[in-house]
Every structure is written in structure tokens, then in C-alpha cells.
Amino acid sequence: MNLNDLLEEIRAMYVDALEQAIADVRASGADVLVEPALRDASGAYAGEGPHELGLRYDYVVREGDDYTKGMVDSEQMIGFDPGELEYEALTVEIEPFMWDAMQVAIEPADAKVAPLVAWFRRWFDHDESGEGPFGVAHFMSDPIVEDGRLTMEIDLGSASVDAFETLLDACVEAGAERVWLGSEVEEED
């Protein structure tokens, strides 16, 4: 299996579960908002942290004036042997991860954050009209320096596999030399 096929399979585990949850809500007769972004009173994205990064819910059920957040989690992780690949001037280590809960660690720790923030905003921002899913990322924690690396957690939501490749492009632009992608950042010895 090549990397693209593996990424498609990892993505499908989450997106299939999201689509099923949405179908179940619709079948119950309730109104569902698909992948809505958290917004402030003016309707603008409500960001948090130093980079004002937004957040999308998987879905929200609307019944009258009541709103209930719905969350979908990948229920399992596809097992594969960890591997390493070269992407442009970047060494990428990939271990099993879930599309909706990917940990990222970048070396050196002084990599630029702006390209990573721009990457997230590109995949986060979307017109929410229509049926959805919309092919958007749901969350990225503010990058922080931890254990000598720049680390963050990313929920790729319903974003396509192209989001994964453009994340690597953002890492290159950030000046990263090495990137680790997996389910839990391991501490260096």
C-alpha cells in the first residue's frame, strides 16, 4: 500500500463515522449543522490562544432553541509499521495516528509558526452552507516548544488527503528539518 492509499484509509475511518452520525441525526428528524465553526456574537470565527485559531464541532443538533454538540471520534487506529520518508529537504517520520487526533512534532524547535498557522486557516475556513461534510480541518492547538521540539495537535476533520501534503509543505516553509507525525508525542531521551 502506498502512502496516499494509507492516508485515504485513515481519513475514511473518521469521515465515514462522521457521515453516519450526521445521517443518524437527520433520520431522527432533528436539524443538524455540519462542521460548524465556533463563532463570536458578531459571527466571526471565535479563535483562542496567541494565534486566534478557530474550532469546528463535528456537528451540532438543533432542536428549537436548544443546541447540542455532537462529537465523532475514530474508534480505532490503522496499524502500520512506522516509517520514514524524505519530502523535499524534510525528513518525515510517520507512525500510526487518527485523522481526528494527530500529534505533530517539528525540529528544530525554532521553526517558524506563521506557515503552520496559515496552513490551518486555509483548511479551516469554508462557507458552511450546504449539506457537508465540507472538507475542512477542525482544530489545531497553538504550536508550543516542548522537549526541544515545536509540537501541536491537529484534528484534520473532513479535510482531504491534500491537507496532509500541504501540511508538509508548510513544515518545509517553516524551516523544519524533521517532522514526526503520530498518535502521541514521545519524549526524547
Which one-letter amino acid corresponds to residue 185? Answer: V
> What is the reported pLDDT for 17?
95
Distance CA 189, CA 187 (A): 6
pLDDT tens profile 120-163: 999 998 877 778 899 999 999 999 998 899 999 999 999 999 99
> What is the reported pLDDT for 1?
64
> What is the reported pLDDT for 72?
94
- DSSP structure string for 110-153: T--SHHHHHHHHHHH-----SSS--S---EEPPPEEETTEEEEE
The stretches in the chain having pLDDT less than 70 are: 1, 185-189
User: What cell numbers appear for 58 in the block?
Assistant: 463535528
> What is the reported pLDDT for 86?
94
